[in-house]
């Protein structure tokens, strides 16, 4: 199998996704949309679309190209895994709306010193992408926008300050608002480069992350592996259909 990984900004790398793909001997190609065009989706067996500072509402040539390519991915029923902006693009491409969230979720904890978490809905509990994951679970956040779901999209996970945290489109397209792919080296780069952290205590964010690094990592690895299990199962079914 062959995976496509799309970066919307160079600092938001694939992290745990790349680690899992390498462990499972799955070929992958990384495309930075600030340096090149979106490749032909039909050439890949799955797509991972990462986060970035853009909005899915942007009218830039880059975002128009990305939305059109994701519409094609949905139409071809290519397995899709979107993170943060990648989740919002999935919703927008499928006819939903993207708009400012009531608060910006940044880091590990909210303004009440409570860890950001996701609680699975009834639909989420039934979905095999969460096999082996307990609800609720902690997740790292970095976003100022949220989504409104339309056209049969399923809500799989909810949050306290941003309800629509994990969504599903069709049979194999998933979107996660939080950053399950994050690693400590990635976080250090974000803290140094991303202006969204400037009004927060960066040392506290790094400490909170380190205190929960094992949980973040285990849940991230499990979700990514579960997604790949879904992709492989669907590919086998299609082969013998």
The pLDDT value given to residue 234: 85
Residue extents of the structural domains in the chain: 2-240
- Residue 48: phi and psi, rounded to 5, are -115, 120
Where do we find the tokens 């029923």? 77
Percent of the chain with pLDDT over 90: 94
Joined together, the tokens standing for residue 147 give: 């989504």
Name the architecture of domain 2-240: 3-Layer(aba) Sandwich (3.40)
Confidence check: pLDDT of 190 > 80: yes
Q: What is the pLDDT of residues 88-118, one digit of tens each?
A: 999 999 999 999 999 999 999 999 999 999 9
- What pLDDT sits at residue 67? 98
The CA radius of gyration of the chain, in Å to the nearest whole number, is 17
Q: Looking only at Cα atoms, what is the longest distance across the chain? A: 54
Share the mean pLDDT of the chain: 96
| pLDDT at position 53 over 80 | yes
The confidence score (pLDDT) of residue 235 equals 83
Task: Give residue-wise pLDDT tens across range 116-135.
Answer: 999 999 999 999 999 999 99
Whether pLDDT at 199 is above 70: yes
- Note the pLDDT tens digit of each residue in 6-29: 999 999 999 999 999 999 999 999
State the alpha helices, DSSP H only, in 116-212.
Answer: 122-126, 184-193, 202-211
The mean pLDDT value for 208-223 works out to 97
- Phi first, then psi: what are they for 9, rounded to 5°? -155, 145
Question: pLDDT at position 241, please?
Answer: 60
């Amino acid at each position: 199998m062959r995976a496509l990984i799309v970066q919307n900004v160079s600092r938001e790398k694939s992290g745990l996704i790349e680690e899992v793909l390498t462990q499972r001997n799955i070929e992958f190609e990384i495309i930075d949309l600030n340096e090149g065009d979106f490749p032909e989706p039909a050439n890949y067996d799955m797509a991972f679309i990462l986060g970035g500072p853009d909005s899915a509402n942007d009218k830039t040539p880059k975002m128009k190209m990305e939305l059109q390519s994701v519409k094609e991915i949905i139409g071809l029923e290519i397995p899709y895994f979107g993170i943060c902006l990648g989740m919002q693009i999935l919703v927008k491409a499928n006819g939903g709306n993207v708009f400012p969230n009531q608060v910006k979720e940044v880091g590990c904890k909210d303004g009440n010193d409570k860890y950001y978490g996701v609680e699975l809905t009834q639909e989420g509990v039934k979905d095999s992408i969460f096999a082996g994951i307990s609800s609720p679970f902690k997740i790292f956040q970095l976003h100022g926008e949220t989504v409104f779901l339309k056209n049969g999209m399923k809500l799989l996970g909810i949050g306290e300050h941003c309800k629509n945290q994990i969504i599903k489109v069709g049979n194999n397209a998933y979107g996660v608002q939080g950053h399950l792919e994050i690693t400590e080296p990635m976080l250090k780069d974000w803290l140094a480069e991303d202006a969204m952290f400037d009004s927060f205590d960066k040392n506290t964010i790094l400490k909170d992350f380190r205190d929960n690094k094992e949980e973040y990592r285990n849940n991230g690895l499990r979700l990514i592996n579960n997604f790949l299990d879904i992709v492989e199962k669907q590919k086998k079914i299609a082969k013998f259909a």
